[in-house]
Amino acid sequence: MELTLLGCYGPYPPAGGACSGYLVREDDFLLLLDCGNGVLSRLREQTSFLDLNAVVVSHLHADHISDIMIMRYGLEIAFNSGLRKAPLSLYVPAEPRSEFERLPYKNAYDVKSVSSEIHLQEGPFKIAFLQGVHAVPSFSIRLETSSGVLVYSGDTEYHSELEAFAKGADLFLCEANYLEADLEAGLSNHLCAAGAAQIAASAGVKQLVLTHLHPERDPALSLAEAVKYFPTARLAEEGQVMLV
C-alpha cells in the first residue's frame, strides 16, 4: 500500500500549501481520502483524477471537501465525452444534511453515506469507520489490505475508542492541529500533537504521521510535543510518498 500526502493543513493552507488530501494506492486501485482545497491540483501532479476508483471523505467541512466541488466539473465532462463510463464512488457522512445534499452533481458522483456500522470493500481495501468528536459528524477511517493497515483519524478530539480503532496499524495518519497549550486554553474539536502521540503509543502503531497542521504555527513545535511519547513520530510533508 502506498500513501501520497497531497495536502496536510487545516483549517486553511499556508501560501503554496493544500488542505487535507491523501492518495492511497494498492496495485492499480486508487483511493482518495479527503479532498480539501488545493488537493485536486496536487492529485493531478501524481495521476489523472479520472483514474480514481473511489473517494472517502471524513467529514463535510470545507477544508476536507472543497475540491470535490471542483473535480465534479472534470468528471462530468469526462462522462459526457466517454472518457469515464460511470460516476465516481463518493463515501461521505450524511450530516450536515445541507452539505450532503450539495454533493450530487449530474453524473459526476455516486454519493453514499457512511456510519460506524458500515464496512465496505472497495477493490483491495476493507474500509471501516469510527465516529469521532467534532463540530460535525466526523469519521476516522481504517483501510486494510493484504499488505498492511492504514488508519486516518479525520478531525476529532480525544475519545477512548480511537485507540482500539488504530490498534496495530502499520501507519497512523493522525491530526495534530493543536498544541497542549491550546487544549489547556479550552479549545475543542481537535487533537494536540502530544495526544496524537499518546494514542499512537497506546495503540502500538508502527508509524505515526502528524497531519492537519496549523498553517500559522511552526510545525517543529508539534513534532517536539509528539516525540516525547512516540519518538519516531514525523510530520506530514506535502508530496511525500510512504509505504504502509
pLDDT at 239: 96
pLDDT by residue (tens digit) across 180-221?
999 999 999 999 999 999 999 999 999 999 999 999 999 999
pLDDT at 111: 98
pLDDT at 29: 98
Share of the chain above pLDDT 90, in %: 100
Angstrom distance (rounded) from CA 187 to CA 180 = 10
Eight-class DSSP state of 14: P
Preceding amide of 14 cis, omega within 30:
no
pLDDT at 27: 93
Q: Is 120 helix (H, G, I), strand (E, B) or coil?
A: strand
pLDDT at 124: 98
pLDDT by residue (tens digit) across 87-143?
999 999 999 999 999 999 999 999 999 999 999 999 999 999 999 999 999 999 999
Number of domains in the chain: 1
Angstrom distance (rounded) from CA 39 to CA 160 = 31
Residue-averaged pLDDT of the chain = 97
Q: What b/e string do you get for 150-180 counting C-beta neighbours within 10 Å, with b at 16 or more?
A: bbbbbbbbbeeebbebbeebbbbbbbbbbbe
**Model confidence pTM above 0.95:** yes
pLDDT at 229: 98
Task: Specify whether the CB–CB gap between 226 and 233 falls below 8 A.
Answer: yes
CATH of the domain at 114: 3.60.15.10
* Domain hosting residue 83, numbered range: 2-243
Strands 171-175 and 21-26: unpaired
